[in-house]
Amino acid sequence: MPNQQPLKIAVLVSGNGSNLQVLIDQMLADALPIKLVGVISNKADAYALERVRLTNAQHHSAIQTAIIDRDNNGKKYSRVGFEQRALAVLGEWQPDLVVLAGFMRILTPLFIDGVSQTLNVPMINLHPSLLPAYKGVNTHQRVLQTGERFHGCSVHMVTSELDAGRVIAQAVTAITPHENAEQLQQRVHGLEYQLLPLVVNLFARRLVVWQSGTLINQSGLPMPLRLWLD
């Protein structure tokens, strides 16, 4: 849409940040109409932070970072302490969308309600399964153990129930014979790198919007979108 402001995004990470890198790359290439305003990590050694540092140095970007790992006395933040500080940071950044991308900490209603009600912005999560199946962890191994024919990943709204929010879109792939969990994980990562930008673009183009705590689908497309992405 002409003259529309880029969608301001904040991302929460815990580790490598490969999905964060995809968003950075597409932002820099103007492939997504977004502005990455900041990255919050609950791990001081998360490589995702280095990705931001390199981006800022090489492209004169101004992506902010907040490390909420240990306090000034070296004590690890409690869950409540982390969430209170993270909400305060998000309040300063004023994002339009919060993205959990490889964020490995279960959030409580304190944070989830703070984002959706106090800040009044949507929060999405990238999960490595075809929800509602295989919530939680170790999804690739569990899928193989139960003999599923298909696997993939989902982007869903974050609610207080783990991996139970409304699914916006899914990427599906067929499981190949003799595939192990590590191989399957790598293939699903490839799907994630396509699916997350697709969903972010729906928000950025205002094809899905957040109004008074409700996700409104204005795209005319079915939701969840189910896509074969290889």
Domain boundaries for CATH 3.40.50.170 within the chain:
1-121, 127-229
59 is catalytic: no
The domain defined by 127-229 carries CATH number 3.40.50.720: no
Q: From CA 12, how far away is CA 34, in angstroms rounded? A: 16
Percent of the chain's residues with pLDDT above 70: 99
In the set 59, 60, 127, 156, the catalytic residue is 127
Q: What pLDDT is attached to residue 3?
A: 57
Say what angle helices 181-204 and 18-28 make with each other, to 10 degrees: 40
pLDDT digits (tens, 9 = 90+) for 25-46: 999 999 999 999 999 999 999 9
Q: What pLDDT is attached to residue 1?
A: 45
pLDDT digits (tens, 9 = 90+) for 101-143: 999 999 999 999 999 999 999 999 999 999 999 999 999 999 9
Which one is predicted more confidently, 212 or 193?
193
| Bridge partner residues of 76 (DSSP) | 70
Q: Which residues are annotated as a binding site for (6R)-10-formyltetrahydrofolate?
A: 79, 104-107, 125
Q: From CA 99, how far away is CA 12, in angstroms rounded? A: 6
Q: What is the CATH topology of the domain spanning 1-121?
A: Rossmann fold (3.40.50)
Name the burial class of residue 76, with classes exposed (0-12), middle (13-18) and buried (19+) by CB atoms within 10 angstroms of its CB.
exposed
Q: What pLDDT is attached to residue 11?
A: 98
Q: Which residues are annotated as a binding site?
A: 17-19, 79, 104-107, 125
- Global pTM value: 0.95
